[in-house]
Structure 1
Amino acid sequence: MLKILLIIYELKSIAGRIMDNKVFIIHNVKSFNRVGVYTLLLGIVSMINDKINGNLKIIFVFDKYGNLKFDIFAFIMLSCTFVSIAELLKRAIKIKNENDLTI
């Protein structure tokens, strides 16, 4: 539950900075990296919980109440997406800084 709140907080912070036209800042890179790590940790905790309860599946599964439950694969993919966005933003910041120095 704490990881979900941390993810929501970081995404809210990123959205706030983007709304303030502060897109190309290193703080956004760090936030995207944190969201990626938190997502991966959430998936690992979920996998351990499923392994203990004997419900470990391959990708997506519906529980007995009809709720969709994510598996570790989905969390890994989300985590990789956030880390990739962070790396892309880091490179964009570098290019922006180089362009700011030119006339």
Structure 2
Amino acid sequence: MKIFRNNILTLIKQRKVKFVDMAESANKVSNIRSYNKSFLNASLRFLKALLSLFLIIEIINFPLIILALIYSIYKNSNMQNNLMNVLFCITFIITLICITIITFELREIIKAFMDKEVFVLKNALRLRRVGFSTIIVGVFIFVNNVIKYGTGVFILLNIENGITSRIDTVLGIFIGIIILVFSEIFKEAVKIKEENDLMI
């Protein structure tokens, strides 16, 4: 009987050790999660501040850039140069507007993440605007490179004059398409979340 009792006490002690180990493991996991959460919050705050700074710089510089472009158009008296300058000015202004939209929408998405509003329709629409703006910028880069390099724009790797690449020609378009796909996935996730919320 004494041996049986000692065996039971030994088993109980082993179980207590296992429970203590499990509790310590749970505390470690909890500490790691809280560290990850605080790191994520700090990263989001930094990103939001950085995008806010970029947005302020873009808004301040926008009228100055427009004035500089208009001045450069009127400074040149050659009509053919003038037409190219006007086209460049228009595409540059549209590109600058698209970049400002991208910066603003990304800032708003990060702000929504910080407010714990991740799966909402607004974020899907914001991602969609970012995608379309990125495609527009990509198209202007593509057109500019076609004018600049002609058919050489389609060379992805050139070894003759050293290793060079013109992948940036289509990169903006591809990134924009990927962002549009993510926005559609995000929209579907919002629908699924709303359906789950209705079931609960």
**Normalized against structure 1, the TM-score is what?**
0.80
| Two-structure CA RMSD over aligned residues (Å) | 2.2
- Report the equivalent of 2:168: 70
The more displaced of 2-11 and 33-42 is: 2-11
Aligned length: 97
Structure label with greater radius of gyration: 2
Q: Are residues 88 and 42 of structure 1, via their aligned partners in 2, closer, same or farther at CA, if it must alter by over 3 Å? A: same
Q: Distance in 1 between matches of 2:169 and 2:103?
A: 19
Give the residue type in structure 2 aligned to 1:17: A
- Structure 2 unaligned blocks of 5 or more: 1-95, 159-163
Partner of residue 27, structure 1: 122
1:102 and 2:199 equivalent?
yes
Tell me: higher relative CO, structure 1 or 2? Use CA pairs within 8 A at least 6 residues apart.
Answer: 1
Please state which structure has a larger fraction of its residues in strand.
1
Query: In 2, are the aligned partners of 1:14 and 1:31 still within 8 Å (CA)?
Result: yes
Identity %: 31
Query: 4+ runs of 1 displaced by more than 3 Å?
Result: 57-61
Gaps of 5+ in 1: none
Tell me which protein shows more helix as a share of its residues: 2
TM-score by length of 2: 0.44
C-alpha displacement of 1:59: 4.5
